[in-house]
Amino acid sequence: MEDKVNYGVVGAFVLALGAALIGGVLWLASGLGGKQNTVPYQSIVQESVAGLNLDAPVKYLGVNVGKVTSIAIDPANPRQVRLLFQIETGTPIKRDTEAVLKTQGLTGIAYVELNGGSEGSPPLLPTEQDPVPTIVSKPSLSARLENVATSVLANVDRMSTNLNAVFDADNRAALKGTLADVASLTHALAAQQGAISAGIADAARTAARTASASEQLAPTLAQISSSAEAVRKMADAAALASAGAGRAADAAASGVQRLSNETMPEVERLLLELNQLASAMRRFSEQTERTPSSLILGGPARPPGPGEKVTP
């Protein structure tokens, strides 16, 4: 007995099953099974977005929270790229949240990473004036590395140019001559190594003697200091004595003036009398020398003058 297969029913079943599978795939792809409400956001990026495609994931600290819905050049500035996102409602997007382009693993697939947002910052929500809020963008790691590499290369290029300017033909010739002079000086110093060593040894001995002399000089300096203090005290005493001598000299000057006014006349009379007495003594001495007997008999009689009588 042969089984009869209704190929029409089988074909209809296969078609129905295929249609159901296609419908299920489309339903899942469109998110009709568990569609969540989303909020539109945008971000202005000032770098290349190579590798970023539509429907690329938008992550918040690594968690998928939305996708990229539009990638277009900013009409207001052709050097910028405007990105539109659809982000799940309830995602904590705040005014200081930042959008950064990143690549995933070794595949190089780009996505948008949202980070930042302090606790005290207010949420960034659509308003009537701004229905699509703008999330501030931050340069990606590749952009920062490119900027640093560009700056480094510019510095290297500038340094290379400066070095080429410094080491031109004339400067190279001068440097070569300087190196030759340094080599000659080095050879000369090497030839005088013994003398230099002896000089260093003499300098060491001199330094040792200087240290010893400085130790011996310390007591002398202390004595000089004490002597200087004594001299200072003597100078103070001399100053006081000079002041006293000045006062004494003033007193002596007044006494001399008084002596000159009161005593000198008497002294002059005394000197006159002493002169007369000296004259009398000289005559007496001369008479005694001529007639020594006059000390006993007296002097010879004086002859009478005109008109005088001789007394017997």
Residue type, 112: V
Structural domain contains residue 103: yes
27 located within any domain: no
Strands 38-45 and 57-60: unpaired
* Burial class (CB within 10 angstroms; exposed 0-12, middle 13-18, buried 19+) of 116: middle
In a domain, 145, yes or no: no
Give the alpha-carbon dihedral of 52, 58, 59, 64, to 10 degrees.
-120
Q: How many domains does the chain have?
A: 2
Distance of CA 189 to the CA centre of its chain: 38
Whole-number pLDDT of residue 31:
53
Predicted confidence at residue 294, as pLDDT, reads 58
**Two tokens at 249?**
């000299």
Residue 282, domain member (yes or no)? no
Structure tokens at 153: 């290369």
215 in a domain, yes or no?
yes
43, part of any domain: yes
- Give the helix ranges, DSSP H, for 192-263: 193-262
Which residues neighbour 118 within 8 Å (Cβ) at sequence distance 6 or greater? 94, 96
Query: What confidence tier does 86 reach under pLDDT thresholds 50, 70, 90?
Result: very high
Q: How far apart are CA 85 and CA 66, in angstroms?
A: 7
Using only the alpha carbons of the chain, give its radius of gyration. Answer: 66
186-221 residue pLDDT tens: 888 888 888 888 888 888 888 888 877 777 767 777
pLDDT at 43: 92
Q: Which two tokens stand for residue 297?
A: 């008999």
Classify residue 123 by its DSSP letter: B
As a whole number of angstroms, the distance between CA 217 and CA 85 comes to: 90
Domain that holds residue 230: 167-241
Is residue 118 domain-shared with residue 48, that is, in the same domain? Answer: yes
* Mean pLDDT for the chain overall: 78
Query: Which is higher by pLDDT, 72 or 278?
Result: 72
User: Is residue 1 predicted with pLDDT exceeding 50?
Assistant: no
Q: Is 217 a domain residue?
A: yes
Last residue of a domain, one of 207, 241, 275: 241
What's the pLDDT at 209? 80
Per-residue model confidence (pLDDT) at position 33: 47
Q: Which of 113, 51, 43 is nearest to 81 (CA)?
A: 43
Provide the β-strand partners of residue 278. none
Q: Token pair for residue 125?
A: 């929500």
Average pLDDT on 153-167 reads 82
4-39: pLDDT as tens digits: 666 677 778 888 888 888 887 777 665 544 556 889
pLDDT > 90 fraction of the chain, expressed in percent and rounded: 13
Give helix 169-191 / helix 193-262 axis angle, nearest 10°: 80
